Amino acid sequence: MGVDFSALRTLINRYCAGEENWVDSRTVYIGHKEPPPGADAFIQQRFPDNRVVSSKYTFWNFIPKNMFEQFRRVANFYFLIIFLVQLIIDTPTSPVTSGLPLFFVIIVTAIKQGYEDWLRHKADKAVNQCPVSVIQRGKKIKKESFRITVGDVVFVKEDETFACDLILLSSSRDDGTCFVTTASLDGESSHKTYYAVQDTKAFRTEEEVDSIHATIECEQPQPDLYKFVGRINIYMDNEAVARPLGSENVLLRGATLKNTEFIYAVAIYTGMETKMALNYQSKSQKRSAVEKSMNSYLVVYLCILISKALINTVLKYIWQADPNKDEPWYNERTEAQRQRHILIRAFTDFLAFMVLFNYIIPVSMYVTVEMQKFLGSYFIMWDDDMYDEELGEGAVVNTSDLNEELGQVEYVFTDKTGTLTENNMEFIECCVDGHVYVPDAICNGQVLSGAAAMDMIDTSPGPGGREREELFFRALCLCHTVQVKEEETVDGIKHGIHQGKSASFYISSSPDEVALVEGMKKLGFTYLRLKDGQMEILNREDEIERFELLEVLSFDSVRRRMSVIVRAASGDIFLFCKGADSSILPRVISGKVDEVKARVEHNAVEGLRTLCVAYRPLSPEQHQEVCRLLSGAKLALQDRDKRLSEAYELVEKDLILLGATAVEDRLQEQAADTIESLHKAGMKVWVLTGDKMETAAATCYASRLFRRNTQILELTTKRVEEQNLHDVLFDLSRTVLRHHGSMTRDNCSSLSNDCTDYGLIIDGATLSAVMRPPQEDLNSGSYKEIFLEICRNCSAVLCCRMAPLQKAQIVKMIKASKEHPITLAIGDGANDVSMILEAHVGIGIMGKEGRQAVRNSDYAIPKFKHLKKMLLVHGHYYYIRISELVQYFFYKNVCFIFPQFLYQFFCGFSQQPLYDTAYLTLYNISFTSLPILVYSLMEQHINMDILKKDPSLYKDVAKNSLLRWPTFIYWTVLGVYNAIVMFFGTYFLFDNTTFTSNGQRMTTNTQMMFGNWTFGTLVFTVLVFTVTFKLVLDTHYWTWINHFVIWGSLVFFVLFSLLWGGIIWPFLNYQRMYYVFMQMLSSGPAWLSIILLITASLLPDVVKKVIWRALWPTITERIQVNAGSFHVLAFLHRFRAMKRFERAPASPCSDSLLDGVALTEA
């Protein structure tokens, strides 16, 4: 008999799965009322409460969960294994030497993460216990926010924030609308209008709302803030009336009710299922090139560690092949040791050597790097140059893990509108059947004084033309989503006040629409309001015309157009449509297409944003068919967007062209200077925009992306139609390769100015063809590789007519190319989020298209001009600092451990430690950690003003140049050399029998003082001073903090050594260090040897730098030398000025030189 597990599987999926994948929709019972008999079956679904949890840990799981996360890191797990090995077997060093640094790192990290999580718990508690008004049994009661459940009817007053995701049922306004700001969600401060369900908007009291009998069917929770699919079934006399629900009916948690007295709404998503909570989930982790280099170096050093342990193990057993050496009289083995198998003994010895040499892996480096990134990110946020007075905001760092990546950028992908331009629209002109109208001055909703007149260009239209002219003006007054504010104040700010009287003030999420409506106002047609489904406009004769708004076909980035269907007072029905010329003109069947198209192209070349306007008269039968199509699509729960798109395609056809508009979006301040600086820094800038080619190209010339001598290559639909894609690509490829001749691909893709002759323009349709996989039946090969070859030889690329997904595809394609360049994407709108997330570094602009880009970015800046300092200064500094930090950490640990390796050759490979346990433990924690941390925060190898003035300095650190393998090998070899000098210098010193504390020959009593621990202490003293002085030599920017930390660390080492060896510590079972340090310092030769060994260790590095700077200086080193010479001469000038009256006049030659310095300094 078979067993059916389907029911069990269903239950497991339903209750144990992370999401409700067992059903694709949910049913919400408003007020928790069951549907009437005969309706759908009542199935009560399980929904979470409204508790929001942003915290990561609980009281019970903090320790195990935090420990698990920390030990997932390779370095932490490695040191844990070493610590356990020290506990299990007999090792030469105490478990404290590995355990103390490890647990210090673990505890500090745990305290930091625990404190941050406690703050999150505190914030969650405040939010979850906030009181909310809920309607129950016709009465209003107060509930704590976390007790709200799906189906509760909520009462919200003005200026209150929504506690969960709601469907609007009714409001205090007669038309059932309410105004909402979503600043906490997407940063848009403008008022958005939301609509109540038509059948429930009249219910405005608790009793009336409680009498609503309805259910809501909607999709399961998903994070898209701007998408919602559902329908409401309202039961009247046991008959269900279905109405569609969309994003215009949904009030999201975190949004705030504005300029509406109150609303009633029903909860549909609660707690962690709200869209806000779903959007707070973490994004994919980005890793910097420096972190990848660190991991590669770690693998190399791990191999070195294993090699050292293996070599010593083998040599130990070769050494012990002689019985006399294997088992001397003073260290005879026990019987158990003799009977152990040689492989077990060898493996145990191998682990012991691993423990002895394990300090070559710097566990504290990861903590120092994290601290450097976290603290260093505040320098961006504290930078006054990146603060915008207009916005009242400065730069924001959303992740500090990518600071150094800002200094490695090779490709910059930027949006155009709102990023390069201000997104502050000014209405310039409109064209109706070839007649051009230009109002005096209208700017983004602000009517300027003295702008009452209208200028006419060309001849005025005839009688028939005037009718079409007025139809065009009416179309623009009706085809929009602008809201009219007639109040004197909006959120306490006075708007639209003229001569003390209240006037209309337009608000919209789109600056284009406000500019167009204001433009029509100056041309004689004023949009007044939308009231009770009637759109009112004031015509030139000051008569109010009313149009019934029947349908709104919303704008989307795929269609690139929007439409409205209205009924005039005469009963005529019109569809008015406006959109990009590429989406309107193909659907036009009549009108003066050539004249309008010529004007559109003319305006596009001038850099203006253009829209075409068309209309279509609808008969009652056609209107009925349109309603049927749209209603069926809107009520669909599955594939609603697809069905709506198909319906829009059927409706928006057979259009009659009326004319076109032109608005100007001015270039942002210093945008051109910023792009020019990025070019000089060796970066390739790509503009990815949805605008038409002519408009975008004009902006590119204005912003100096394209120069006058730039040869433009076009890869557009128009050219592909004349030639096939294969031929066009190969023609362009031959063109660029012929120019570069023998130049290789790597040379062209390098950060140089050699490839600045060409600029490429490509549109979205052609890009789709290029990105399409090659067909097997064609010998076309991969177009993508040819396209990449062309792009590598172009200094700038313009991609126009791009969909948001195509922007991300472009970034991904460049990331995956052969050179794997570092990419940066910058934009200000929701359509830029995909490329911001795809790029190595994503930067959001705090613009007027909301804060979606800012929320999803790694960094946010107020204006595009701030990108210059962020990359050329902050990025440059961050990379210099962290690359030195990484190399220095590996260097100082090689210096630390290699003498221990050499010492084994002189102690019979007995695993005897060279250094005392305290020194082993504190070397990386105390003696050498703070100086490099301060260096990595404060270092400025070149003045920041010079970095801004000379962008070419950015090339000196490009391509991860300071963390390449040759540089890494040099630091490692330098560490090995220093270790050899320290060890053998001290060894030969000890071999000299005159080395005593008082200048006399050693006696039996004094010789024991100069044994193993004195030898190790002397080596360690030279080591600490050498690695610290190495950092002193590398420091170019000195502050009191550097002096305090560097010299303070050395003083601390000396004081600790005196204290550690000057007292008999009762808790230690050994006193091997007692008086060792004092005895060593009492010897004159010891002092001399310390000075000589430090000098001998550092001398080759100094000589190498001098020779390199003299023969092969980088641009950075030339500037450092010049700056040093300038400061010396400037000091001499100031010194001469102070002594002018105290000494004889200087020689004419020196006077002229110093006067020249004075002039330069002035």
The catalytic residues are 415
Q: Give dist(CA 1006, CA 994) in Å, integer.
A: 12
Helix, strand and coil in the chain, % to nearest 5: 50, 20, 30
Query: For 16-42, b where at least 16 C-beta lie within 10 A, e where not — what string?
Result: eeeebeeeeebbbbbbebebeeeeeee
What value, to the nearest 5°, has the Cα angle with vertex 915 and ends 909 and 916?
120
Among candidate residues 888, 925, 929, 896, the one with its CA nearest the CA of residue 1031:
888
Amino acid at 46: R
End-to-end CA distance of the chain: 100
Q: Determine which helix (DSSP H) or strand (DSSP E) holds 241, and give its type and residue range.
A: strand 239-245
Asked if residues 864 and 826 have their Cβ atoms less than 8 Å apart, the reply is yes
Among candidate residues 387, 382, 553, the one with its CA nearest the CA of residue 481:
553
Q: Determine which helix (DSSP H) or strand (DSSP E) holds 1013, and give its type and residue range.
A: helix 1012-1034
Which ranges constitute the DSSP H helices of 52-94?
62-70, 74-88
- Per the DSSP assignment, residues forming a β-bridge with 143 are 132
Which ranges constitute the DSSP H helices of 939-999?
944-949, 965-991
Asked if residues 114 and 57 have their Cβ atoms less than 8 Å apart, the reply is yes
Angle between helices 363-381 and 74-88 in degrees, nearest 10? 150
Cβ neighbours, 10 Å, residue 902: 17
Q: Determine which helix (DSSP H) or strand (DSSP E) holds 894, and give its type and residue range.
A: helix 876-903
Among candidate residues 149, 214, 200, the one with its CA nearest the CA of residue 171:
200
Angle between helices 876-903 and 965-991 in degrees, nearest 10? 40
Among candidate residues 308, 321, 301, 299, the one with its CA nearest the CA of residue 349:
308
β-pair type (561-567, 684-688) = unpaired
Q: Give dist(CA 164, CA 161) in Å, integer.
A: 9
As a whole number of Å, the CA-based R_g of the chain is: 38
Whole-number Cα distances in Å, 633 to 25, 80, 225, 269, 640: 17, 60, 21, 24, 6
Whole-number Cα distances in Å, 614 to 471, 561, 571: 10, 11, 20
What value, to the nearest 5°, has the Cα angle with vertex 1024 and ends 1018 and 1028?
150
Cβ neighbours, 10 Å, residue 337: 10
Q: Give dist(CA 707, CA 581) in Å, integer.
A: 27
Q: Sheet of 131-136: strands edge to edge?
A: 139-144, 131-136, 153-157, 262-269, 165-171, 250-251
SS3 at position 409 = coil
Number of residues written out for the chain:
1162
